[in-house]
Amino acid sequence: MNYSISLFSTINPLFFACLAVVVLLLAKAVYTYKNFETLHGKAIKELVLGGLCLIFVFAVFIVLPLLAGITVNENDLALRLPSGMTYETISQDDMISAKIVNLNDYPELAIKSKVVGAETRDYREGNFNLENGTEATVFYSGNTVLLVETANRTLLLGPDHFDEFVKYFGEKLVPVESSI
């Protein structure tokens, strides 16, 4: 089963601010091109730059979150976290334990700093340093997550349809205990 986080959790005011700046840049370039024949070369450069910036903004705020997700298979867990540069499959044999936790009740699991990844509002995706000094691979939007301890890393997972995800994870991989 594939699990992801809704695009609405990842879009924030920064997206709209960047989009507004790019649209203004493109509008200025079109205006310059139409009204000043001597500045056509400059206007074309601005159109190309504005187009590239528009592609970048959509890639960062729309495409990358759409690509991110978790796949639970019979014997493994596959993580696709593009902004966290994580594409890996974790074997069931490497998983030690799984536990549902509310991050408000576990201050040692709070995000201390970002190693590589993306974070906006409640959305977190990538590799982060936690308050307890460990590095964790995270993919969640909200406070309730599945804490998975593996042989060589900690995972904090909280995709949409969390209850369905936990049930399926517990059936296919490792029994899940609840601390809530």
Q: Which tens digit of pLDDT belongs to each residue from 66-112?
A: 788 888 988 899 988 887 677 888 988 899 999 999 999 999 998 89
**Same domain membership, residue 42 and residue 111:** no
pLDDT at position 157 is: 94
Give the predicted TM-score (pTM) of the model.
0.78
- Residues 102, 42 share a domain: no
- Residue 63 falls inside a structural domain: yes
Is 34 within the bounds of a domain? yes
**Per-residue model confidence as pLDDT tens digits over 141-164:** 888 999 999 988 899 999 988 999
pLDDT number for residue 9: 66
The most confident of 7-16, 39-48, 61-70, 169-178, by mean pLDDT: 39-48
The reply to whether 152 and 112 lie within a common domain is yes
Count: domains in the chain: 2
Same domain, 23 and 63: yes
**Which residues lie closer than 8 Å to 99 by C-beta, 6 or more apart?**
146, 147, 176, 177, 178, 179
* Residue 118 shares a structural domain with residue 41: no
CA–CA separation, 119 and 140 (whole Å): 10
* Angle CA 14–46–13, to nearest 5: 5
160 and 97 in one domain?
yes
- The pLDDT tens digits for 57-71 are 888 888 877 788 888
Three-class DSSP category at 130 = strand
Side-chain-side CA neighbours of 153 within 13 Å: the count stands at 16
Are 96 and 144 members of one domain?
Answer: yes
Query: Domain range for residue 144?
Result: 91-178
